[in-house]
Structure 1
Amino acid sequence: MEMQQPTSHELLALAGEIDNHAPVQAVGSIVVEAPVDRVWVVLSDVTNWPAIRADINTVSRAEAAAPGGVFTWRTGEVVVTSRFAIVDPERRLTWTTTAPGLAAVHVYAFELLGPALTRISAAESMDGPIVAAVQLNNSQLAERIQSWLIGIKNFAERP
């Protein structure tokens, strides 16, 4: 069986970088009043995602987050496939997302600020014909990232 070469987006995710040439890019961060291990679990366990953001309908995965691990999820009517790249518990989590006409890179960093205080930072890039077709821009992606981070915060801060 022939091994498939990584795509440019997968190489970026493996390097912990977004695509700086993509037409849509955004960053965001938020401070969460929860220990870093709790914040890590909230994001790295993709089955939590529908509780984090209402537009994520379903997520399927076979195992825990691991480099090369593949999972599918649905946002609205769009089914996407994601692949973990860097899985460095409580420090960094990166993955790629693909769908027809879409390639995205997601880079998340975790910073311990105190025993129960964590900063989570996100950087994302999106490219492909679908980005232009839906007229997605940097500020819209920044809003989505912020809503995502708020969802992570709300979930992680629950008793």
Structure 2
Amino acid sequence: MSDKLNLDKLDYQIIDEMINSAEISYADLGKKLFVSGGTIHVRIKKMQEMGIVTGSRLTINIKTLGYDVISFVGIYLQKSSMYEDVAKELEKIPQIVRLNYTTGTYSMFAEIVCRDIQQLKQVLHDKLQYIKGIERTETLISLEESFSRNVQVLEDEE
């Protein structure tokens, strides 16, 4: 795929560094990769235009903000053709932070972040269950997140 995208090793190094520290300045990143800050700027702009880089995110510790419950909900649809309509309705629920259309047991798989069990109950009982097209759900509560990471785009050279 990198041939189609016309990315070289420097592009992948930039992506790798920015994934680990998005707040690094182009000048500092250039020094680290032995190129100019202008080169970094041009490369980032090129990757934005290609749709590879779509923005930057602030990573927060949700627990310190009082969000103590992370759950995963497998969603069974009445018909798979209802996916788009159901996804639009699920997107309106702010506690749903990720949604995937899946193969296997569930039609959809959602990650939900809540302040407490009571809020999770409200999301599941008062919101999810009333969405047209959802047949039933199965909820799994996360006891601990062992790690979270981005995909490694710069493969180790052997």
- By the TM > 0.5 criterion, same fold? no
Q: Larger Cα Rg: Structure 1 or Structure 2?
A: 2
Report the TM-score, using the length of structure 1 for normalisation. 0.33
Report the TM-score, using the length of structure 2 for normalisation. 0.34
User: Greater share of helix residues, 1 or 2?
Assistant: 2
